[in-house]
Structure 1
């Protein structure tokens, strides 16, 4: 019986992850979807956190990918660390069987284990609601994408040690690779 294996990406996964991204985001008007270049640029940036680049492997093949990278919430008092979820991709021949949800949950669980507190995402509210995401504007978070309304979402992860203050409101600042998407 073949089972789904969820784990952090390793260097040998770079080409398979690029193939999954290219297939999942394929469009007839572009040779290579921008998500492929985004992940490659993020890998070589200060935003990259190796433990938070998760792959889903099925039958020895990388079939899914979910990435959390560092962003900052700019506040009056300085900055606060947060994460952005994306891109998330599943190979077309393995979509709609739960691999995407599994790899996203694995990434969120890994972030919780690392004591991260805040994750933002731009995506389908009906899909991301299952993980606990809600409108980012309710937390006072803005970004270049906040004008898109409901797709701009946030999730406060549970603290690992007792009571911690909620994340601050402010502008979410993305690393430079995101400006090209």
Structure 2
């Protein structure tokens, strides 16, 4: 299995994987909008013999900690093709993404989702607690990407890219 950053040639396979992995096209639409808006930071793919087995997407966020801007990303979506599930591919994709983002100077990664699932990647509700976000709650988690972590109690704003809000508005209709 080859884990690497996505290439432009991977876009059709990523779109097809997202559409096949979720019950609605929301995640595929989200990724399209993130790309069009220029908010895509990193997309990691797993491939085997030229076939796309999985994808993990990281997008830009506007985050402040103690009123200072902090380089941060949102992880969403993560998808693995049905025949490759339960083989550690999601973990490998997310870990490789975290490593690249850490080397790139990103301080925090946020995710919205099941704490039982995303907890295995190191995401915790406690790290996201106290951030002012429309997504704040039990499914809003964060992970410090730098070794120094983040001081306890110091929080601020955490705003996802506009594509997230646009998708939420469409879902509300």
Query: Aligned partners of 1:139 and 1:145: how far apart in 2?
Result: 11
Tell me the equivalent position of 1:89.
79
Match of 1:119 among 105, 109, 112: 109
Residue 32 (structure 2) pairs with residue 40 (structure 1): yes
TM-score (norm: length of structure 2): 0.86
Tell me the equivalent position of 2:93.
103
Query: Aligned partners of 1:61 and 1:129: how far apart in 2?
Result: 28
Residue 142 (structure 2) pairs with residue 154 (structure 1): yes
- Cα 1:144–1:7, aligned 2, differ >3 Å: closer, same or farther? same
Shift of 1:131: 2.1
Unaligned runs of 5+ in 1: none
- Cα 1:164–1:97, aligned 2, differ >3 Å: closer, same or farther? closer
Query: Aligned partners of 1:78 and 1:100: how far apart in 2?
Result: 32
Query: Aligned partners of 2:80 and 2:112: how far apart in 1?
Result: 17
Tell me the equivalent position of 2:19.
22
Tell me the equivalent position of 1:72.
62
Tell me the equivalent position of 2:161.
175
Runs of 4+ in 1 over 6 A off after TM superposition: none
Shift of 1:9: 0.5
- Cα 1:80–1:127, aligned 2, differ >3 Å: closer, same or farther? same
SS at match of 2:37: coil
SS at match of 1:146: coil
Q: How many residues align?
A: 166
Query: Aligned partners of 2:34 and 2:106: how far apart in 1?
Result: 19
Query: Aligned partners of 1:123 and 1:64: how far apart in 2?
Result: 18
Unaligned runs of 5+ in 2: 169-173
Tell me the equivalent position of 2:171.
none
